[in-house]
């Protein structure tokens, strides 16, 4: 029997399953910080929703914790990296709210199109204003979907039943896969230019924060109506409010906000806007599913059984030679995805050296997980990464060989237009990038990096350093790799913090700079 600490409300059916298995369920709502650390003394499992902050400090202070269960999909409040370092499994319930989120999207879509909340408020206040609240039909309108994961696909199916044309943007979904779903794929601007309605189904990442900004809204089809049931911060709320005031955007329906909880937003004073307080997963069915699912996952983890929804995984299950390379593989996948900006049709993963002689399946999954993790709205785990890659049309192949050249072991990722290689160096097994395309270099993987492709001419290091220095960005490490042809070079810089998009844009505009990518691995 184990003690399971539960700090937020979950479905009673889930609690009953835990008790029926013989475990002690300790309900202590509202814990955080030092109070949470104290309550975790002697607990083998912790179950939370979104309010409890399971920080690195909390995890490091616990000695008996085996598993953290998040009753829902998001993991913003759980430090998964710290848990992995401590050998604590993190599990979630990724399928629990998909239907509810898709249905709430359709509810907001209809409410926005037909002005339902506004008309209701008007009528109960004593005003009968039929003409004021005239709406529009969904039939024969174009719905643009940004993010074609599980929830995005569900919305597409439901929109098709309303007679809508569905288009989408998701660089990590193969066009053939979308065609089978009767969805046309375009780039981001192409979707915005054609859509009568636009709905977002993205993860919140450094790349997607502020994605829907003033510049993009200015390119939208006049009269666009925007729906966001994904994550707050993806939409620039001030820019959206201004676009509605000018008439460029006809209206919006928003369930999520940059800061939550909130009672203030530039959108709240506009009658063309429908808002709800993050209700996408707030159905009895979703909460029941989340509670029972997380109870099942925690029970499996405590019993030492296979856990389908484990977000991290014990690398002890891998051969000893490759265990230290699993985190490196995941980070290389993240960097590859950031540099590529799309999902390749085929990805070759090469393991050379001693790691080329052992079972590399877990490290391959780590690459795929890293590649998908930052670009899809659903939680990517070692369990579902392979299926998610297959759904998106990604063909992953491994090449293994004991033969290597410059390093004892290397992992190399190759697509048609990008090559990235890494290794571990020294007694501390420091992860390093050692090649980008045909540019040989040697630089540590860091939490914050800027990768610059530039013409191989004098003065380029000074240009990059000046732009970053003027922006107050400190460069902690740097490496330059030249191509064999000598015409281009690659700079990889480790920085002390995330570099703002406007700084990256300034750098990209300088003569001789071919491309710039800011990458945050935290």
Any idea which residues carry the catalytic annotation?
Answer: 231, 260, 278
CA distance 423 to 420: 11
Bridge partner residues of 91 (DSSP): 69, 310
DSSP letters spanning 302-316: HHT---TTBSS--GG
Number of C-beta neighbours around residue 364 at 10 A: 23
3-class secondary-structure state, position 487: coil
Bridge partner residues of 68 (DSSP): 46, 90
Measured between alpha carbons, how far is residue 36 from residues 10, 43, 47, 68, 519 in Å?
A: 18, 11, 12, 13, 33
Q: At what angle do helices 284-303 and 98-114 cross, to 10 degrees?
A: 160
Ramachandran assignment for 42, one of left (phi > 0), alpha (psi -120 to 50 degrees), beta (any other): left
Q: At what angle do helices 12-20 and 284-303 cross, to 10 degrees?
A: 20
What are the φ and ψ backbone dihedral angles of 39, each rounded to 5 degrees? -70, -25
| Residue whose C-alpha is closest to residue 164's, from 182, 143, 147 | 143
What are the φ and ψ backbone dihedral angles of 11, each rounded to 5 degrees? -60, 140
Yes or no: say if 262 and 232 are a contact pair by the CB < 8 Å rule: no
CA distance 148 to 319: 35
Alpha helices for 162-234 (secondary structure H): 175-180, 188-194, 214-218
Yes or no: say if 226 and 248 are a contact pair by the CB < 8 Å rule: no
DSSP code, position 54: B
CB half-sphere exposure, 391, CA atoms < 13 A: 17
């Amino acid at each position: 029997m184990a003690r399971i600490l539960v700090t937020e409300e979950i479905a009673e059916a889930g609690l009953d399953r835990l008790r029926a298995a013989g475990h002690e369920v300790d309900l202590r709502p509202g814990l955080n910080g030092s109070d949470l650390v104290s309550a975790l003394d002697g607990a083998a499992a912790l179950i939370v929703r979104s309010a409890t902050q399971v920080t690195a400090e909390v995890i490091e202070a616990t000695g008996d914790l085996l598993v953290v269960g998040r009753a829902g999909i998001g993991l913003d409040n759980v430090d998964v990296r710290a848990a992995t370092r401590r050998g604590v499994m993190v599990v979630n319930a990724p399928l629990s709210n998909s239907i509810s989120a898709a249905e709430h999207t359709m509810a907001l879509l209809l409410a926005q199109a037909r002005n339902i909340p506004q008309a209701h408020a008007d009528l109960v206040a004593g005003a009968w204003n039929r003409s004021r609240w005239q709406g529009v039909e969904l039939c024969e309108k174009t719905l643009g979907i940004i993010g074609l994961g599980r929830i995005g696909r569900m919305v597409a199916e439901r929109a098709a039943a309303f007679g809508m044309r569905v288009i989408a943007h998701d660089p990590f979904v193969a066009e053939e896969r979308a065609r089978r779903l009767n969805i046309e794929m375009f780039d981001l601007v192409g979707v915005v230019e054609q859509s009568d309605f636009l709905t977002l189904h993205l993860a919140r990442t450094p790349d997607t924060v502020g994605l829907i900004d003033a510049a993009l809204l200015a390119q939208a089809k006049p009269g666009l109506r925007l729906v966001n049931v994904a994550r707050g911060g993806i939409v620039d709320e001030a820019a959206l409010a201004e676009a509605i005031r000018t008439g460029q955007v006809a209206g919006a329906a928003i369930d999520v906000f940059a800061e939550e909880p909130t009672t203030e937003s530039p959108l709240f004073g506009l009658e063309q806007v429908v808002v709800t307080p993050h209700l996408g997963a707030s159905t009895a069915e979703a909460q029941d599913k989340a509670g029972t699912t997380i109870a099942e996952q925690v029970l499996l983890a405590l019993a030492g059984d296979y856990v389908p929804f484990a977000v991290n995984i014990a690398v002890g299950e891998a051969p000893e030679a490759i265990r230290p390379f699993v985190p490196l593989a995941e980070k290389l996948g993240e960097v590859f995805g950031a540099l590529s900006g799309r999902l390749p049709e085929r990805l070759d993963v090469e393991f050379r050296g001693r790691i080329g002689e052992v079972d590399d399946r877990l490290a391959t999954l780590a690459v795929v997980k890293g590649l998908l993790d930052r670009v899809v709205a659903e939680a990517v785990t070692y369990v579902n990464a392979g299926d998610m890659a297959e759904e998106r049309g990604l063909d992953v192949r491994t090449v293994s060989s004991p033969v290597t050249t410059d390093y004892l072991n290397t992992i190399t990722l190759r697509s048609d237009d990008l090559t990235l290689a890494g290794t571990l160096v020294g007694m501390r097994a420091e992860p390093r990038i050692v090649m980008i395309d045909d540019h040989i270099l040697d630089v540590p993987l860091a939490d914050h990096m800027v990768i610059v492709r530039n013409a191989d001419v004098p003065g380029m290091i000074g240009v990059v350093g000046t732009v970053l220095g003027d922006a107050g960005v400190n460069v902690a490490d740097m490496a330059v790799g030249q191509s064999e042809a000598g015409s281009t070079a690659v700079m990889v810089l480790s920085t002390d913090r995330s570099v703002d998009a406007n700084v990256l844009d300034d750098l990209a505009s300088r003569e001789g700079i071919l491309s710039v990518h800011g990458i945050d691995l935290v």
